[in-house]
A and B are shown apart, each in its own frame.
Chain A
Amino acid sequence: MSSSAATAEAAGLCTLCPGACAMQLARHGDFMLRGEVPLTNRGGLCPRGSALGEVLDPPSAARRILVPQARDDGRSVLLSFPDAVERVIQATAGGEITVFLDGNLPAEQLQAAAAWTAAWRNADLCLMIEPAERDLLIGLESSGAPYLEPSAWAGCDGFLLIGGVFEANPTCSRRIFERRKSDRKVPLVVIDPGGGAACKFASHRAACPPGRELAVLSAVAAAAGLAIEPASPDAPAGRACGPAVRRSEDSEVLAEATLTAKAAGAALKSCSRLAVVVTAEYGRSADWAAIGCLAGRLAKARGGSVAPQTSGANALAAVRIEHRLGTLPLAKALLRNGDVRVVLGGDLAALLGWTQEQGTRGLAAAAAALPNRTTQAARIVLPMPLPAELSGTYLLEGSRAVTVGALVPPPAAVPTPEELLGAFARRGGTAAPRPPADVSGLLDRCDCPLPAAWPIPPGDAEPPGDEDLTLLLARQGFNAGTGEITAHASYQTIARAEPDVRLAPADAHRLGLRNLQPVLVRSRHGQFRGRAKLCPTLAAGAVVLDEALCEARRLLPCRLAPGGEGLVALPVPVTVEVLP
């Protein structure tokens, strides 16, 4: 480090979600000293953003840059970059290759990767995002509802929140609070079976049994004056409102839910600028596309807009690029069993709750910024930059295309995803593709048709057992973002040490459970050990785990939707045992 180099502050945006929070880095020449929250409050920085600052910091123990290596008979062998590329091509043996690329990278990277795979005869590309988020965004796009501009929040005269939106993007809470501060009569309707933070601020909370978001939303929309027609003439009665009633006691629960939903819908009936803020989470519902479509229609009917809160920054861009360039949806990519898989960025194994054995199947190579479950399972490992080390275009804050500069340059010898895929394709005998056109044309709104298979038939849901508790997953604010990148930060590591198992106080009392007592959650697919956390906003009968944890996802594995268009994971029955 040069002694004359002055310490400077570099400001940028956090690109871990579409919230677009400001971040500040203190540098000394080329050496970054630390990540910081901005000096003055410009919208906040959640635990994810704080963790990103720490992970970006090269001297930090949290940043372990991967080096090209191969696993031979359980041993790691360091490789040069060309040798690693050569081994990947050898693994394909001239066959087909499916490239899974992190869908939350800048749009230019996604576009360039699509161009390379289009030119490479043997390869197909899949832009990986959370399956539930993809379905939701397709539904929202098909509804034709406008997206909520940052300046429009202050003019909204009603809010409908679906899912744990405050956990998905804490900064959206401020805009809602500011609006309600100026007019306390603005209704705030919440549909969240996970009992998220927004529930305690709701003016109307629509009771919602796990997995029945669509049914409750339909009741709210109908009460708000939206005409609900059946999905198709052949659909059974109530099909457009979600899966049919499965158990006799469910009808009572839904009847109660309908009462609260009607009251909530009536509160929204007079709205002329309704904002529908929605987030889709793994293991919550099979109907996210239908929910997105209905939510968009409701917002449009009430003169309002929609504001999807996704866990990654560029999920909407990935959906639009997939639609325009014809890349493979995740479900279809996973169906290609004979192909060799290469995962570039993202953590495919954690996303799908795979075990080590499942993750290893067909996986030739994985590239990531930091070690994850997929790189642990891959035969060949390669490095990649962190999201904040790549510049490019993101759809932030309600689909506003923003060019974001890299907060710091990628470390030396770490290729960008485009360079990585280009190296594979060249070695596979592909000439460089034509330079891609301007990316902005790809990011315009698209009219994705709703797949015919949605909502899925109720017969596909897991049959109820003797257990009387239902497990669903939700984002948790306490360790927000514990996932592929931020899990390496020290704060998240400590927060994750004892994961919470959220229970309603009534259920805890019945089980003889005290707050913070160790418990074991058991489903037919596995078990999960955590610490009981009593959650007064959670309805009795539901158990909630953190959706960012691979072990939690394993308890409710996802499966293909009919037609192979999407992946669905539904709430499952579980037992909760008290541990000594």
Chain B
Amino acid sequence: MSPTSVPRAPSAGAGAPPPAIEKRIVLDLDRCIECNSCAAACFLNPAGAGPAVAPARAGAALLPMLCRQCASPACVDACPVEAMVRDDRGVVRRRAFRCIGCGSCSRACPFGVLGEELGGLRTFLRSKDAFSGRLMAKCDLCQDRLAADPRAEPRCVAACPSGALRFVETAPPAAQDLDLLGGRTVGQDLFARRTR
């Protein structure tokens, strides 16, 4: 069966306003010490098929690249087999059984967080035992942990030693007391720009 002939499942957002995500990960740029604990924890995630947090190796900084969980995700629109979906909690997830590893989501992502350069080799190594053998890595905010305990945090956040990664309520940024050292975050800025 060719990828385009896969019957399209009704999208979670089709015909209805997309559900609002409750919490998201933000990165406090004034705290990241580039230790890569987040990427290591994500890499060893037993529930996932690949590292969804990857360090940006280009340039001087070594900052974690995380999925922004967009309100209008380009990766969902681009996926030819409906492997990328927004679920009923607003989390953009990849369905492992459907993903064919074509890389469409990677090319569509405006932030480059699904880049093959970032997932690349690691994704391939980690997905040897998976069904397709080729899967795109995608952050699902560690739904396996959150389902078990609502107080839980994604692995990258729980592993962050410096407190740079935080899992915060997605209230309007202006009303949020993020209590940051310098007030600069990746998640906050992008959330304001992309989803409002």
Contact = CB atoms under 8 A, between A and B. Distances in A.
B153 interface: yes
A54 B40 CA distance: 11
Contacts of A39: 145, 148-149, 151-153, 158
Nearest to B163: A174
Contacts of A50: 37, 40-41, 43-44, 159
Given A490-B43, A515-B58, A41 B157 contact: yes
Contact of B34 (A41, A45, A184, A477): A477
A536 B155 CA distance: 30
A536 B59 CA distance: 10
Interface in A477-505: 477-480, 489-491, 494-495, 505
A167 interface: yes
A178 interface: yes
A44 B159 contact: yes
Interface stretch (A30-38, A71-79, A80-88, A245-253): A30-38
Interface in A495-527: 495, 505, 515-516
Given A40-B158, A47-B37, A177 B31 contact: yes
A150 B8 CA distance: 56
Contacts of B153: 39-41
Contacts, number: 129
B179 interface: yes
B100 interface: no
B20 interface: no
B33 to A, nearest CB: 4
A477 B161 CA distance: 12
A534 interface: yes
Contacts of A170: 33, 35, 37, 161-162
Contacts of B102: none
Contact of A478 (B34, B58, B59, B179): B34
A478 B37 contact: no
Contacts of B190: none
B35 A37 contact: no
A171 B158 CA distance: 12
A36 B149 CA distance: 14
B38 to A, nearest CB: 10
B122 interface: yes
Interface in B144-184: 145, 148-149, 151-153, 155, 157-163, 179, 181
Contacts of B62: 477-478
Given A39-B151, A178-B163, A478-B55, A45 B35 contact: no
A197 B125 contact: no
Nearest to B166: A41
Contact of B37 (A34, A46, A53, A489): A46
B106 interface: no
Given A50-B40, A536-B60, A33 B151 contact: no
A203 interface: no
B40 to A, nearest CB: 4
B57 interface: yes
A45 B41 contact: yes
Contacts of B157: 41
A491 B159 CA distance: 15
A495 B161 CA distance: 19
B46 A34 contact: yes
Given A33-B46, A39-B145, A40-B153, A166 B40 contact: no
A303 interface: no
Contacts of B1: none
B121 interface: yes
Interface string A92-129: 00000000000000000000000000000000000000
Nearest to A181: B181
The 6 closest A-B CB pairs, nearest first, are A44-B161, A170-B161, A47-B40, A477-B35, A173-B162, A197-B33
Given A43-B161, A166-B33, A173-B161, 14 more contacts: A34-B46, A35-B44, A39-B148, A40-B151, A40-B153, A45-B37, A50-B37, A50-B40, A166-B35, A167-B35, A170-B161, A173-B33, A184-B181, A477-B35
Interface of B: 30-31, 33-37, 39-41, 43-44, 46, 55, 57-60, 62, 121-122, 125, 145, 148-149, 151-153, 155, 157-163, 179, 181
